[in-house]
Each structure stands twice: as C-alpha cells, then as structure tokens.
Structure 1
Amino acid sequence: MATLLIVIIVLAFIFDYINGFHDAANSIATIVSTKVLTPFQAVLWAALFNFGAFFISKYLIGGFGIADTIAKSVTIQKGDHLALYVTLAALLSSIAWNLITWWFGIPSSSSHALIGGLIGAAVAHYQSFGVIVMSKVIPIVAFIVLAPFIGMLIAFVITIIIVHLCKRANPYRAEKWFKRLQLLSSAAFSLGHGGNDSQKVMGLIGAAMVASNFIPDLKSIPDWVPLSCFLAMGLGTMSGGWKIVKTMGTRITKVTPLEGVAAETAGAITLFLTEHFKIPVSTTHTITGSIIGVGATKRLSAVRWGVTVNLLWAWILTIPVSAVMAAAFFYIMKLFL
C-alpha cells in the first residue's frame, strides 16, 4: 500500500508538471503576442510567480481551501485501500486528457479533467452516484460557465475605462507604458494561476493519504506536499506549451499591450476571488473569457467565434470524457487486483 501511495504522489507531481506546461499559455500568451517578452523570458517570469503563489496562499490567504474542496468533492472512506486506485485512475485519465488536448493545441481545463476523473473513478468503485458531494461539485460545474463570463465582463469594463482615461494620451508613450504594466498584470495572473491550479493536486494527494491512513485528516498534510506541488507547477510552466500559446495569443483575437493588461488583470481578479471562496476554476476558461471580453470592446466580429466555439466544446466535454476514461482505468486495474 505504501508503494501505491508513492506511485500516486509521483504521478500527482507529474500531473502538476504537465498542468504547468499545458497551462503556460494562460499566463504568457498575451505577453508573448504583444512582444513584451520573448517566449523564453515569459515562461521564466510566469514560473517564478507560479511558485511564489505558495507563499501568498499559505501566509496571506491563510490556507489551501481549493485543495480541501477537491479532496471532498467525492466521499472516500478512510482506510479504504481500493480508494487509492480511485485516485490513481483519476490521475491517469487527467494526464491522458491533458496530453491529448495539448497535442491538438486545445486550451482545455486541467482542473475539470482532474475533477471529472475523480468522479468517474469513485462512481465506478462505489457503484453509486451518491459518492458525489453535490455541495462541492455543483459550484465547480457552475463556474465552468461563470468563470469565463466573469473574466469577460471584468475585462470588458477595464478596457472601456482604460480607453476612456487614455483617449488623449500620446499613442507611442501609452503603448510603452502598457508594455511595462503588462509585466505586472502577467505576474498577477501567474500568481492566481499558481494558487489555483497547484492546490488541485494537493487535494488528491491529501485524499490518498487519508484513505491509506498515512494522515488522520486533510489538515494534517505535511508542508512538503504543497511546496512540491507549487514547484512542479513552476517547472512545468518553464517547459512552455507553444501550440496553446498560439491559440490563446493570436487565434481568438488580436491583442495589444493595453488589451493584454486588461485581460490579465481581469483574469487575476477572477482567480483571486474564486480562491477566496475556495472554488477551483479553470485558469484556461478564465483567461479565454477575459481575452474575448477585450476583443468585444472593439466589435463582436473582432472575436474569432469559430475558434471560440471549438474551445467551448472542449470545455463541455472535459468532465464527462475524463470521468469515463477514469472509470475505464479503474475497471482495468481492478481486473489485476
């Protein structure tokens, strides 16, 4: 059992690493497309603040509420050794979905892949939908729609305000200033990204540790777990995700430094709000909604809706597909137990 727990923890860190390079585009797409930083400089910048989010979550926010939400999204009984295979199946399906969508350059949600995998494997194990804790899952599902909409609305408002305030500014000087400001907005979004996404795997590791009686409850997770999760996320971000950068940075709408500041600031505000309320959301959905909100201030036709519709399909399919994949992985493993 100890060996299985070690395998789960290692796979969890691998998932965090993959999540980092899969979602690197979220933090750097606009800053690269506006040529504020080179791709290499951008991933280093984002990775630094991804890891720095550990100290924000632990010492400023005062805990890892999103990890707690993930761990409690399904009911896993303490001491249930088969529950370790539930978490293992969830991780395998999430990693598979992330790699598939990365390969095709689709900005899907690592968060919802993980949640879908956990739900699918738990239902397969306990043979009941009653294991799903609806009080935790319903807000997560609701924010599939709400997070990008909130990001879009905030980005729209911020862009209108900035354009109004700067309408008499010298265009050359204004662009120079917004390129500098984009360093700050990108850093803020990377903090939100690290704080939100790194905690999701923490929740899974915590659930596995409780199921194996390694710790008595989720509050007893040792400090090396969150530290390692944030580090793995940062290292993954440094590896980049160039196919998705292209989709996020150029194919949805053309983004200027001013609009980059608005989109990243809106995304950061949304992520900090949802972390405060302990709701895991997709950073991919959030920044995509923010970019759409920025594009919509020019005219609705400035948003390439064909690309956006494809993204929406990926968002809709992520939870059910990863749930089915996780259930399949669980049944396959059970054949050998």
Structure 2
Amino acid sequence: MVKTNAGRFFEDYTVGETIHHAVPRTVSGGERALYHALYPARHALYSSDEFARASGLPASPLDDLAAFHVVFGKTVPDVSLNALANLGYAEGHFLKPVYAGDTLRTTSEVIGLKQNSNGKSGVVWVHSKGFNQRDEVVIDYKRWVMVRKRDLDAAAPDTVLPELSSVIDAADLTIPEGLDFSGYDYALAGEPHRAADYEVGEKINHVDGVTIEEAEHMIATRLWQNTAKVHFDTSARPDGTRLIYGGHVISMARALSFNGLANAQMIAGINAGAHANPCLSGDTIRAWSEVLDIAETSANGVSAVRLRLVATKGDSAEMTLRGEDGKYRPDVLLDLDYWALMPS
C-alpha cells in the first residue's frame, strides 16, 4: 500500500470542489524575527509594539506578507506541488491583522480550469481563504497556477474561466479595527511623506538592491512550509535551476519600497499580480513604484494609496514596465498592484 503522496496533477482538479489544506500553524514572534532577518523589512507598525499601539492596534501584527506566506504555504501541497509556475493573483483582501499566538488554516475552492494547447499542462484557478482560530477569515485571495499533467492522454476538462475584478474599490477595503493615524510619529516612522504628498502618476525609484542567495531563499520557502518541487529539486526544471518562490520576490520588493514609501504601512488589498519573468539565485532585485490612486477611508487620519510595485533584476532607474511590443520587459520580475494604508 502506497502511503506517500505525489501531489495533484492538472487532471485531478474539478471546478467547484473545496480543498481543506492540512497542518494548521500557530505563529509567534519567531516568524516576525525571521521575516525581518530574511528581508530588509523596516515598516514601523510591524517593528514596534509601541508604534502599533499609538496607531490604535493592540500590538504589532505579523507583517501582512508574512501572514500571506503562511496562508499561501498551506495550499502548496494540494495546488502547486507539481506546478510549473505560479502565474498571478487577484481580489486579495487583508481582512484582519494576524498576531502572535494566532493559529492559521486555509481552504481553497477550484474556480477555473483550462488545459494548455500543448496538452502537457493546464492552468488551475483557486479561491483561497485563511482562517484564524476563531474561524474568522483573515486573508482572502484568488490565484492561478500552471500545473503539469500526470497522464498526457487524459481528456481535457471543460474550460472554465473565472471572472476576476481588475481592481478592488477603495470603499470595499477593510480597515483594521481601531486604526488611527491622527497622532502618527513621522520621525519614528522614518520619512515625512503622507498620502497628500504623493500624486497619481508619480514614480518612485527605491534605489537599493538585494542579490538573491539560494540558501536564504530555501530557508524562507521552508519557513512558509512551501513544498513546491521547483523551489528545491534541481531535477524539477529542465535547466537544472531552482526557481525562486514568487512570494520571496514580493517580500523583497515590498521591503525595498520602504525607501520612498516608509509610511505605506499596511497592505489592505491586492488588485492584481503577475510574476512576469522567473527569478533565479544570483539575480539582484531592485524595485520601483507608481502611484495609481489615492482615496480616503473611514478611519481617522488614514488614507488608502493604490500602488504598482515593480521588481526588476538589475537597474531599476528606467522605471519602464513593458517594451514596444506591449510585453513585459525581460528584466521585470514582478508587477504587483496593491492598496496600502498610509497617514493622510
């Protein structure tokens, strides 16, 4: 009797099924410390309990993306263990902060399927939800991933393409209970720039760069319990390389964005995201951002700023996303459209 699990392949998914992912995880200050060790993360709200309390929260939460990685990692054995690539994200809602002591678990509903024309793989769309120990949804998002077929002769399923919103309306963002930036300390936060100091269309070069090391990537990916083979097993890719987890690139770019966006404290929503080109060990990640929108919220002194965060390998000074052919430039690794909460 075979007791091991080779993971799901494309033909194993059915639109409408709900997958309850294994192994809930209780997070602690250890995750926060490791997150800040792996990335140059410096946003004050996630670094200081006292700064968080002065902003109306009970304590400093786990970084939004760290919580996202934990929730995401639960899905990997059932969704992307045999993936060729994680392709994109949409409709990501950060609904409740995650604090030390919270226990997170994840479910996913299959919402779309489309076999690729080569017949060797297909795209699977899922709607994933992360719950805390009170069964409250803390993170809710949709993503799509390209997955291998086990049996190349297996019949293609009916194509179902989900309808996904391109942008979350600012009015539909969830503001953490109690959040209040009316007494915000700009000196402690590191920069004086508030939402009113930014203009739609403005681009910000975050200047700094970090070279991706294979060992650090594998530590990070293990931290999130992400078991996708392409991140660890060099025989899983034809070129014999380990693909860097896309979330590692997101966190690195978000951390680099502190230089110029130090007061973009909390992530409230992910409108869209694409891993435009693969990232490999030795690539140097740089980042730039574009301001896409600015909106008021119901919270005291809090605005929502819509940002495009672009990670590149090599120089980011040109701040150009696409070439003349309309396709992503080959140096672009990440194109992430998200809402952040910032003092007004």
Q: TM-score band (shorter)?
A: under 0.3
Between 1 and 2, higher relative CO (CA 8 Å, sep ≥ 6) is seen in 1
TM-score (norm 2): 0.26
Higher percent of residues as strand: 2
Tell me the TM-score normalised to structure 1 length: 0.26
